[in-house]
Amino acid sequence: MPLMPEKIRIIHHRCFRKNMKIKKLIPSSLRLRYKLIKRYTEDRNKGVIFASFRVTESPFEHSISETQEIRKSEYYQNKIDNIRLGTNLIERIIITSGETFSFWRAIGNPSPEKGFKMGRNLIDGKLKADYGGGLCQLSGIIYLCALKAGLSINERYNHTVDIYTEEERFTPLGADATVVYGYKDLRVVNPYPFDIRFEFEIQDGYMSCNLLSTKPITERTIEFRRKKYLNRVVVETFSDNKYLNTSEYLI
């Protein structure tokens, strides 16, 4: 006799809980190492070519920009310091035609040994203190700037929970890009036959991200269309009225 849907759901739930218990027995450092090795192997097998540090004399005369307020909160100065450290590392990267920019390959592990400080991170749907707090706003502004420039988005994750009111929001819902070292990356590809790079400015509580290019890029119009349900919001992203992706948030 075939199992009823409700029984299947119960079995899946029990298996999930069992797997979670087993997972917790494995040290986090080993889980991270496994994820990093897995990613490295997959990237090598796929032949991914990553952008890297380069010295160039090419003039980057054209730009597409995005500016956001860095809202004051707990660990505010630490967040500013973490973002500055991250931007200094990213600005060294030149992305040539067909290459992939990886947020974590540019920054590396945001550890205290590298100068990163404690800040607020959204972990398992809750705000918690962790090293590198604030880097998600940096990855988010890069993502939005990449959308406006028409770059190919190969990897991006939205947050699982919307924690902001409309008054507190510094970027449109659906424009975020959460990053977790070893687990969740932001990866964008340069589809153009010329070089591009990111440049940043942080001043008076605001951050600007400039996507610089050696030739002009037509800026896209990005829209985030919301559909609100009982306990969640679904956001569809469009570029010049062309559908790109869907983000879902608990509320």
What pLDDT does 120 receive? Answer: 85
Please report where in the chains the tokens 């990553």 appear, as a residue.
50
Q: Residue 132 sits in which domain range?
A: 49-217
What sign has the CA pseudo-torsion 174, 175, 180, 185? positive
Mean pLDDT of 90-113: 97
Model confidence at 23, in pLDDT bands (50, 70, 90)?
low
Specify if 26 maps to a domain.
Answer: no
Total domains in the fold of the chain = 1
| Domain-located, residue 232 | no
Q: Does pLDDT of 6 surpass 70?
A: no
Say what the pLDDT of residue 163 is. Answer: 85
Query: Rounded CA gap, 129 and 50, in Å?
Result: 31
- Per-residue confidence (pLDDT) for residue 13, from 0 to 100: 46
Residue 80 clears pLDDT 50, i.e. is over it: yes
DSSP state of 228: E
137 domain-assigned: yes
Tokens of 225: 């269309």
Q: What is the pLDDT of residues 226-245, one digit of tens each?
A: 999 999 999 999 999 999 99
Q: What's the mean pLDDT when you consider all of the chain?
A: 90
64 located within any domain:
yes
Q: Please state the rounded mean pLDDT for residues 176-203.
A: 97
36: in domain: no
For residues 117-126, give the mean pLDDT.
79
- Is the pLDDT reported for residue 141 higher than 90? yes
Q: CB neighbours (10 Å) of residue 39?
A: 17
Q: Is the pLDDT of residue 16 over 80?
A: no
Q: In the prediction, which pLDDT does 125 show?
A: 67
CA distance 54 to 176: 28
Domain assignment of residue 4, yes or no: no
For residue 200, pLDDT over 70 is answered with: yes
pLDDT tens-digit series, residues 36-63: 999 999 999 999 999 999 888 889 999 9
Assigned domain for 34 exists? no
Q: Which two tokens stand for residue 194?
A: 């010329």
Kindly state whether residue 14 falls inside one of the protein's structural domains: no
Query: How much of the chain, in percent, has pLDDT values that exceed 90?
Result: 75
Percent of the chain with pLDDT over 70: 89
